[in-house]
Every structure is written in structure tokens, then in C-alpha cells.
Structure 1
Amino acid sequence: MGEISETSRFQGRVVKIFSDKRGGFISPDDKSDDLYFIASQVEHDKFGTLKPGYVVTFTVGQSKDGQRFFANKIELVSEGYHRFSTTKIRFSGYVKNIFTNKKWGYITLEGSTQELYFIAKEVEDNKFESLKVGDAVTFTIGESEDGRRFANRIQLLDVDQIEQNDTPAELLPTPITCNELKNQIIEQFKRIVHTTSSSEFEDLTFLLLKNLGIHYLYQYDKRNQAGRADGFFIIGNLAVMYDCTLREGFEEYKKDQIENYINKLEQAQLTFNLRSSDGVQKKKTLRIDGKSKQVWIITLGQTREISDYGNIKVKEVSVNHLIWLLQERLNRDVIEEDDLALNLLSRIEKFIPA
């Protein structure tokens, strides 16, 4: 899992319990490898109450040889699949990720970027094993006591039975104007503030930065992300390592991580792991000496300067202000990279009180 801090807490779900062995496995929300845990590491003697699907937080420990990782100091957050409410309406979507060995996955809600967690037993007719990424499905939506939404009663949709000309004429798409499209783009991005999933917030922020037109932009491989930043970009003479969080009052929680980011930026070059869309992992090395360097903690809060470590500034950057910058960019008649770099930096500085 790379460099980690044993004081940093992460969130995940219990996926297996071995009552006889007094242990089990937790699947982190960042989709990295499952972590083994033992009963004595479950706080308040609650090992006996844990069940697959329960949401927990934990720290990450490492074996002496550095080859194995495991979950420590586990705290129960919620009984993830105790249904607090569920819809009767069926929704449509597509399988985004599927982890056959773990018996769970994610479905993307049609017409949205929202991803819904699901487990194998919610796939009807015992068709979990036959599901593939991209399959069209229908489902109801359940909500746990902690407000997390997930897919229930999932049915695989046989797309071969759908005729193209079944769509009534009045439902056929109508032309769109340029202004309407720009407004729709901004309105969709504004929905980021309603995101409750940390992983989804990271992906949406990366998509937002891409739409801003940043050419040298990298999102780190989530499977080896514990304790690391979410991404890195270079625009003009500015090099930024960024991390996304939905947590309020994150300064103490991310103190060790921020110091780690600063240490990396102080080097002449930066090397990190990337995973391409086809799943192939590769290393990328970039020279960053001579550039202005910053650490951004991207949040739902306010843009402000947190600290100044010599030549490296640490800032909290509001995702709302990045959306505002995108709106500015969409309404401009001339787009140049140098102009974007100056505009991005100057606008962020203006949001920070002197």
C-alpha cells in the first residue's frame, strides 16, 4: 500500500468474518487490496457484532518485513445494510466495477455520475457471476442509517430485446444550443457538493480539473493510495500536488500526509505510479525543479492559505471556486494555456484573504 501513517484513519466495509479464527477482512473505500484484521483490534469488544457490509474506520499497520498490511484500531461506523429506507421505483444504470472474488461492485446511475455500491445477494436470479462491466441493469435504491445509498434487487437488462424505434417520437432528443450546454455542464458539476462518497469526490474533482484544460494532470492509482495524495498537475510554472477530502477540520487529521507531500515536492523530480484504463500499471517521472510548488487540499469548504513551508504553500481550495473557474473558462472566446495558468493562480489567490 506504499507509504502510510499509522495515525491516519481510513474507511471501508467488512467483507468477510471468520468467527472461529477471530478475524476477517475489510475492503477499503479507496478500492485498494483487502486488509486482514483480528478480533482484538476491534474497539469496544464489538467483534461479535460485525457482519459483512458493515461500515468501519481503521488505521493501517505494516509487518516488519514491509510486505504485509493489516487493519488496526477498528471502529464500527454503521450497520451498512440495515435498510433505513428503500425506493419502490426502479432505476436504470450500468455496472461500473465488479469484484467477483469479493462479491460486490458499483453501479453508475443512468444520467448521473453517482455510483451505488451493491453486493452479490442483491443480484436477482443468481446472476452475479455473469455480470460484466458495462452491463445494463435496473434496480431499486436503499439507504443505510448513515445516509449511504446502495443498489437493491438488481436485474440484468437484456439489451437485445430493446428496439431502437420503441422510443416514442415525443421522447426523441431535441437540439441543444451552445448556451444551454454550457449551463448544463456547470449545473451538473455543482452537484459535486452533494457527494457523500470520498472515492467519488476524488473522481469528480479529477474530471473537473480535466475540464479546466490542465494538460499535465495525473490521478494516482487508487489501489496503492493509502497515505498518498490523490493527484498531481503542472500548469505553466506551477506544480501542484492535491488531495481531496470531505472531512471538516481536516488539518490535524492530514498533518502527517501534508508534510509527506511537501517532502516530495522539495525534490528535483517526482515519480509516481499510474494505472491506465486497460489496467496496466506504469511509473511516471516528472522534473519539478525550478517550478513554483503548492499543496492543495480540495474540499467543500472555503479557499484559504493554511501554511507556508518556505517556498511551498499549503492551501485549502474550495471545489466551488474550481467550478466557478470552469464557468469563466466556458464563457471566454480565447483559450490559451498560459492564460489558463495565470487565471487559475490569480483567481485562487483572490479568494484568499490578505
Structure 2
Amino acid sequence: MQDVTDKPFMAVIADCGAPDYFVTEYFRVHVQSRLEKHILEAVTENNTGRPVFAQMIGEDIYHLTRAAKDLQAHPIAGVDLNMGCPSPTVYKKQCGGGLLRDPQKVDQVLGALREAVPGLFTVKMRIGFQDTENFDAILDLVNKHEVDLLSLHGRTVKEMYRSQVHYDFIKRAAERVNCPLLANGDVTSAAKARWVLDYTGAAGVMVGRHAIRNPWIFRQIREDQAGLPVSKITLHQVNRYVKDLYAAVAKPHAPEQAQVNKMKKYLNFVGQGVDPEGKFLYEMRRAKTKQQLFDICDRHMPEDGDALFADEPYSGVIARPNCES
């Protein structure tokens, strides 16, 4: 997730129960680009104990292959191509989800990257741009170029995060592609992950925004898949997670209010499971200092309490998503 899955965020998530692997923020690839150092740190200074895939976004074939080759000098698990980002500033440049409008260009990009990447080459995409007209054709290109793994978000680019997820298209893709497929989109809990896997036949799930809300979700999914009781998370634990995350992502010389505002990006999601009325979100969004923010957390998620964090987001409590997942 852009501006989220950096080195400190990955470390905090790993302490709660790491996923099988992480994917970096995307490296922006264009004629003047170089591998961004702050993104590369998530690979070169990875202390999570899990593999990290390097994600790229772009449309210039020469420079995409250049970046893919440059990444081979670092301890990446593989190279991931983003063909799903729904941000208008991205797709208007024919990058991310914008590529889905042009199967011929997708054919060229996948072919060039498959040749340039000797190890694992993975792709993340959505089911289409405006509609699903090119869906099957692009899945066939995934097969043609022997992509090693496909992550599929079950909405079109234009649907952003507003519509219901079209799990029937994920099921259709799982039946059509030769590689393992990960289902992505509204995987909100261990129970939802089980339903998605059973319905779609996918090999696994990719969790984005809901790992910000609930960093224990990967551990819970493993417990559920193993037939074990699923861990219940208390609001006390969530309070500690918020404070650990604040400490992890803090910049040494950043103004306090800038750091508080940065935390609100994460807390927009966390707040979906704190209270059904959204009172925590309302108060949190108005905090200006670290102390004000922590006081709000302590009031809604007391350290000495045993109230539980919601397994699923409370209905109607809106997170205002601002990251690609």
C-alpha cells in the first residue's frame, strides 16, 4: 500500500503476526526514475523474518526492465507489477490500473518483464478499467508470459473501493490462470478469508487496508485455517499497537502535528473497529498533539479494560481510504 507498507510499518505488523510475505510500496518507474531509497530500505533492512517482493508501477517498457534488473542486486523475493492502482493521477498516465485499457501494451510489458526477471515475477491487477471487457484476454496474457502469481482485486479501477467486491470474477480467474491466485478486496477477518477461499477456489488471500485496521489478521487467518480458536483482540492491545506504530513511524525532526496527522492515516482504519458510533474517529481526527491523540486512545481503549476490538468493521463507520490495496 502506497505511503503505508514501509520498513517501520512492516516491523510492527510482523510483531503482531506477519503475513507469508510482504510487498513494498511501489517504485515509480519512468525515464528519470531511480530506485527510491526509502522504499528500498524495506528490502535491504528487512528484519521481519518474511520475504519482501519489490513492487513497480509504470508503463515505459525500457525503464521497467531497467528497474527490474536493478532490483536483482538486492535481496528481493521477486518483482511485482502493479496493474491495479485506481488513483486518477496514476491511471491517466497509463500506469497501474490504466494498463488494463490496453491488452496489447500489457502483452508487451509482461513479455519484457518476464524476460528480465529470472526469479519470481508476480502481478497485481483489478478485473478491468471501466468494465470487464478485457478481463479474459489479460488473464490469457498472464498465462502466456508464465507469471508466477497473480493477485486480483475484485473491482474495476473506476469502482475504486465503493462497490461490492465481485468475487465471481475472482473465482473465474482462479479457474482460468495457470499460476496460483490470491484474492484481494474486503478481506476483513479470518471468517471472511475462509468464505472467500471456499467460494473462489483461490490459493490464498492478499490483505491490504484491513491489516492496518487489524494487524493480527494474518495470525487469525492461520489459526482459522488450522482449525484452532481464533484469537480475540482487546481494545487494550489495539491501544498498544497504536502507540508502537507512532513510535516506529516517527521521524526524528518532524513537527509534532505532522506526525499526529500521519498517524490519522492509520487510525482512520483502526477506528472502524473501536466503537460502532464512530466517536473515536470523530475525536481522533481533531487531535493536534501527541498527548491529545494518546488521551483519546486511552479514553476509548483503556489500558485496564477487557473490551474487545470488533472482528469486522462496524457498519457505517467510514475509514476514508487513501491508499492502494
Q: Give me the TM-score of the superposition, normalised by structure 2.
A: 0.29
Q: Which has the higher contact order (CA 8 A, sep 6+)?
A: 2
Q: Give me the TM-score of the superposition, normalised by structure 1.
A: 0.27
Q: Considering only CA atoms, is the larger Rg found in Structure 1 or Structure 2?
A: 1
